[in-house]
C-alpha cells in the first residue's frame, strides 16, 4: 500500500516514513502544502496523513482542495492544533479521522488501519467501474457477464491504478512508479506490454490511449 505523509517537521516525517516502511508501506513525505497538493493529485495513494500547520499552503486548505477535486483517499489529520473547533472543522471538510500531538505510534497505526477499512468499497473490498469488478483481496477481475479473469501481480497493480480514478490520464512514468519500476529508460515498452494484456481482457475501448500523455480507464 502507498502512503503520503504531509509533515513539515523533518525528524517526525522521517520517523513516520521509517516506521511505516517497516510495516510494508511505500511512503512518500511532503514537507509543505504545495508539495502535498502536487503529490496527492499526481500519484495514487491508499491514505494520507496530514499535518495542519504547513508552510506555503495550510493543511485545511490542502484538505478542502483535495476533497473539492473529488479525491476520496482516506485522510487522517495529525497535528498539534487539537482544539475541538479545529477537529470539527477538519472533519466537516472531509477528514476521516483526527489525532493530536503528542501521540503514540501504535494509536496512529490503529487509526490509520481503521481509515483504510472505511475507505474500502462497501462490496467487500472491490473496485467497480462500468460493470467490471476488480477483487482487491484475491487480485482477480470479474467482467460484466460474471466471468472471472486471473491477473499477474503487475497487471493487477496497473489496472488497480487506472480503475481507482476512472477517466484520469496516467503517464508511463506514473504507472511504472506505482508498480515499483523507476528506471524508466531501461524499462522500454513495459507499460505497453501490460496495457496490451489488459486490453485483451477488457477491450481496447475500455483503456484509452491519450497520445503523448498516457492511458485512462473509461467508465462507459
pLDDT digits (tens, 9 = 90+) for 87-143: 788 888 889 899 988 889 999 999 898 888 776 544 446 788 888 888 877 788 988
What's the CATH architecture for 2-119?
Answer: 3-Layer(aba) Sandwich (3.40)
Output the 3-class SS for the chain: CEEEEECCCHHHHHHHHHHHHHCCCEEEEECCHHHHHHHHHHCCCCEEEECCCCCCCCHHHHHHHHHHCCCCCCEEEEECCCCHHHHHHHHHCCCCEEEECCCCHHHHHHHHHHHHHHHCCCCCCEEEECCEEEECCCCEEECCCCCEEECCHHHHHHHHHHHHCCCCCECHHHHHHHCCCCCHHHHCCHHHHHHHHHHHHHCCCCEEEECCCEEEECCC
Contact status, residue 170 vs residue 216, Cβ threshold 8 Å: yes
Provide the pLDDT confidence category of residue 186 given band limits of 50, 70 and 90. Answer: very low
Higher pLDDT, 73 or 188: 73
Please name which of 103, 107, 102, 117 lies closest in space to residue 47, comparing C-alpha atoms: 117
With beta carbons less than 8 A apart as the criterion, state whether 107 and 60 touch.
no
Which three cell numbers, joined as nine digits, stand for 206?
475500455
Was domain 126-217 assigned CATH 2.40.30.170?
no
Report the percentage of the chain scoring pLDDT > 90: 38
Q: Where in the sequence of the chain do the CATH 1.10.10.10 domains occur?
A: 126-217
Residue 177 confidence (pLDDT) above 80: no
Q: Which residue ranges does the chain devote to CATH 3.40.50.2300?
A: 2-119
Amino acid at each position: 500500500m502507498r502512503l503520503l505523509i504531509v509533515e513539515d517537521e523533518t525528524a517526525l516525517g522521517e520517523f513516520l516514513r521509517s516506521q511505516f516502511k517497516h510495516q510494508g508501506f511505500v511512503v512518500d513525505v511532503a514537507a509543505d502544502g504545495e508539495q502535498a497538493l502536487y503529490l496527492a493529485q499526481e500519484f495514487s495513494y491508499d491514505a494520507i496523513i496530514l499535518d495542519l500547520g504547513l508552510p506555503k499552503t495550510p493543511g485545511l486548505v490542502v484538505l478542502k482542495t483535495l476533497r473539492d477535486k473529488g479525491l476520496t483517499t482516506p485522510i487522517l489529520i495529525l497535528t498539534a492544533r487539537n482544539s475541538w473547533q479545529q477537529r470539527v472543522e477538519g472533519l466537516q471538510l472531509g477528514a476521516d479521522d483526527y489525532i493530536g500531538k503528542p501521540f503514540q505510534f501504535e494509536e496512529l497505526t490503529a487509526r490509520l488501519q481503521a481509515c483504510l477499512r472505511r475507505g474500502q468499497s462497501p462490496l467487500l473490498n472491490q473496485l467497480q467501474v462500468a460493470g467490471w469488478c476488480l477483487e482487491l483481496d484475491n487480485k482477480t477481475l470479474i467482467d460484466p457477464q460474471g466471468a472471472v479473469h486471473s491477473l499477474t501481480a503487475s497487471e493487477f497493480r496497473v489496472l488497480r491504478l487506472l480503475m481507482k480514478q476512472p477517466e484520469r490520464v496516467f503517464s508511463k512514468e506514473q504507472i511504472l512508479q506505482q508498480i515499483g519500476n523507476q528506471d524508466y529508460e531501461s524499462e522500454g515498452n513495459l507499460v505497453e506490454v501490460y496495457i496490451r494484456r489488459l486490453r485483451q481482457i477488457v477491450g481496447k475501448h475500455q483503456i484509452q490511449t491519450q497520445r503523448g500523455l498516457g492511458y485512462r480507464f473509461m467508465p462507459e
